[in-house]
Structure 1
């Protein structure tokens, strides 16, 4: 039980007199922001009175309920202003309304993962934050205000290698005797799912011991895109070797079944999937988007040109054809993530930002 949860009342709502940090999540749709909050808050709550707010979050997190919003107009028992840590425009706007219209004693912190020029509206909101965090050096370059780079970490307990990969494959219903290359995330053009499919259609016929897994779902506007990919796979005669396994809440088990992971995105804000794969002892081939070039070192995988099918095929083949290179890269990936990207480091860096905000 976390520090904040231990003070929850019988309704399941936290004791707002104790809560000093709010992590809003004002979109119900599952996204990278949601995943970040779900991973971070339980660790933050060990030493910090923090609560989440909004839909689409699991019940094990300490939650502020909608009817508790008026409590934000009062300071917590500590006497210092609460921190409202936004990660989207809508959450920055909500924080501004609370602070500047309703005069709530809040300090506003914003984390930006975007690697593109911000709109005028976004710039307007960002300029009114008390502190701004960038998730990578690339992201920081697009910000026009002072900021602190705090890269995401990974839960190395939840994402870890199996004792035996054959057993891990069997556990998720796969053939334990085969090797699997995976691509996980939303199925859509932006995520490069079609590039992965085309690469696998090119490499699998000559490598009968390998199969491919696509884990994730297509939202309503991308269902036709997924159907086109399935049709292409069937036409290539590979429907039994390029598997669409859907969306899973137990995704760490699927990482543990892999021998290689491919992140083929055409655009990404930060992108946690390479870290999740490497924490599972899996080498990574990643497109040069998001923070991938800052996440994947040369001894743990390869960063290739974005939207370049030819180099993706070559990079994937280089690992699939050389088991010793694959094994060495997987070991290096695991050691690298555990040393440089533990979730606790991200939590400590965020706490340092909060401390500076309170000291202002």
Structure 2
């Protein structure tokens, strides 16, 4: 566990777009831990989404920064608005989260202020064709304006390196709040039915692959009659998913706290097409639940060996996903055992306090401050 006895950076400005989903939870957890450690923290983000309210409840200064998710003609205006905020706040360090904030922050600052960029999965994996080529070209050029580039998994770092992104890397795996995500506590009401309950928590979008899960589900029902599926979250793919889903699939919508859904589940699944390290599976495992993931960046690293052997499926493959789901759902004893092992793994390797301490050490390194005198190496 980190011991944060060294002097802390005087003022950090987090810049983020998006403001919901896993990135928002990572930012909120970092802000909470950093403020508790005595750091001065501000966050620039859009006014929409769940994040501004969570930050305000923490007593954090929230600076409204109008910005869209996608790049385009709006970028110059977003740069001007962020430049005004930087001049006003005068931070000693900037921590930019995800592709859009990383683009605008680095264009505005251009290395004049120590800048940490955390991609939370690579932008060039999210698009194809010309869009992917442009995104990769930017990431290669923009790396010169990142004082440190934080990756949440070794696989994410290797993907960047193999695509020619040259930067001073630091590996800091995602962590979760083990006091909030634990087996004890209320469970969601999953509705009628005695079959095993599968829960998928995530933004309803192409990245998270719920369309693959919906396509696979009839094959699961054919083998495990009575199995139930709940999709927890909201997003741009809600309507097409509803149209494609069998009547037995339930859409729970966005929730402020997913922990009750994890506790209610027999198995949590996330069929992503790309990730850094997804936060939802770590949260589910902290609640003592087994997970089934697609074998994308970070997935294998986030699992203990028994789950890595049994709980990975190839991405974008409905038949393989259905086979993996049915194999797990037919063995209730194995699911419970895998859940216990998953919880122990998260406690050992993905405590948010370790993550926050490692990020603070990156800040200290950049600002020439003394790092923690006693800390364990981050392991995955």
Q: Which TM class, normalised by the smaller chain length? A: 0.7 to 0.9
- Aligned partners of 2:150 and 2:328: how far apart in 1? 36
Aligned pair partner of 1:135 in 148, 152, 160: 152
Aligned pair partner of 2:14 in 20, 23, 27: 23
Residues matched between the structures, number:
317
Structure 1 range deviating more: 148-157 or 120-129: 120-129
Q: Which residue of 2 aligns with 1:325?
A: 334
Q: Which residue of 2 aligns with 1:6?
A: none
Aligned pair partner of 1:52 in 43, 46, 50: 43
Larger of the two Rg values belongs to structure = 1
For the pair 1:43 / 2:53, whether they are aligned, the reply is: no
Q: Which residue of 2 aligns with 1:82?
A: 92
Contact 2:146 2:167 in 1 (8 A): no
Q: Which residue of 2 aligns with 1:226?
A: 241
**What are the ranges of 5 or more consecutive residues in structure 1 without an aligned counterpart?**
1-17, 74-80, 234-238
- Post-superposition shift, 1:224? 4.3
Q: Secondary structure at the match of 2:199?
A: strand
Q: Which residue of 2 aligns with 1:303?
A: 312
Contact 2:99 2:119 in 1 (8 A): no
- Aligned partners of 1:283 and 1:131: how far apart in 2? 34
- Post-superposition shift, 1:151? 0.9
Q: 1:265 to 1:359 in 2, by over 3 A?
A: same
Q: 1:145 to 1:156 in 2, by over 3 A?
A: same
Deviation digits for residues 64-100 of structure 1 (CA, Å, limit 9, x no counterpart): 4468654434xxxxxxx61110123443454446545
Contact 1:213 1:245 in 2 (8 A): yes
- Post-superposition shift, 1:252? 1.3
Q: CA RMSD in A?
A: 2.6
TM-score normalized with structure 2 length: 0.75
For the pair 1:253 / 2:276, whether they are aligned, the reply is: no
- Post-superposition shift, 1:334? 0.6
- Post-superposition shift, 1:178? 4.7
Contact 1:19 1:51 in 2 (8 A): no
Deviation digits for residues 308-355 of structure 1 (CA, Å, limit 9, x no counterpart): 223222221222111110110000001110111000110011011111
For the pair 1:168 / 2:166, whether they are aligned, the reply is: no
Contact 1:113 1:136 in 2 (8 A): no
Deviation digits for residues 104-154 of structure 1 (CA, Å, limit 9, x no counterpart): xx3211112334585222222221122221111112121322211111111
> Where in structure 2 are the equivalents of 1:251-290 lying within 5 Å?
251-290=258-297
- Aligned partners of 2:107 and 2:274: how far apart in 1? 31
Contact 2:175 2:353 in 1 (8 A): yes
- Aligned partners of 1:113 and 1:324: how far apart in 2? 34
Deviation digits for residues 37-88 of structure 1 (CA, Å, limit 9, x no counterpart): 0222101211122222223422213114468654434xxxxxxx61110123
Deviation digits for residues 164-216 of structure 1 (CA, Å, limit 9, x no counterpart): xxx724xx353485531111212234322122123221122443443111111
- Aligned partners of 1:162 and 1:42: how far apart in 2? 23
Structure 1 range deviating more: 272-281 or 86-95: 86-95
For the pair 1:340 / 2:330, whether they are aligned, the reply is: no
Q: Which has the higher contact order (CA 8 A, sep 6+)?
A: 2
TM-score normalized with structure 1 length: 0.79
